[in-house]
Amino acid sequence: MSINQNTANSAASAKTASFAQSLTAIVLGLFVVGFVGFSHVEAVHNAAHDTRHANAFPCH
């Protein structure tokens, strides 16, 4: 394998890893919004609500 092939493989691997990280962040964000934000379980919803207020993030 030549140096150019190693460089190309490293760039492709880094791009794939970056895509996987982005996809994981999107899925986690959708889970948090979908489950915690709209949860009918009061304890879960209130914990998220209190955390938003503790971080000075408006939610109303």
Contact of 52 with 59, CB cutoff 8 Å:
yes
The pLDDT of residue 43 is 83
Task: Return the beta strands (E) in the chain as ranges.
Answer: none
Residue 39: predicted pLDDT:
75
Q: Tell me the two tokens of residue 23.
A: 């996809």
**pLDDT computed for residue 8 by the predictor:** 55
| pLDDT at res. 7 | 63
Query: How far apart are the C-alpha atoms of 15 and 49, rounded to whole Å?
Result: 36
Low-confidence ranges of the chain (pLDDT < 70): 1-12, 59-60
- The confidence score (pLDDT) of residue 2 equals 58
Those residues with Cβ within 8 angstroms of residue 49's Cβ, 6 or more apart along the chain or in another chain: 59
Whether the CA torsion 15, 17, 21, 24 is positive or negative: it is positive
Kindly report whether the global pTM for this prediction surpasses the value 0.85: no
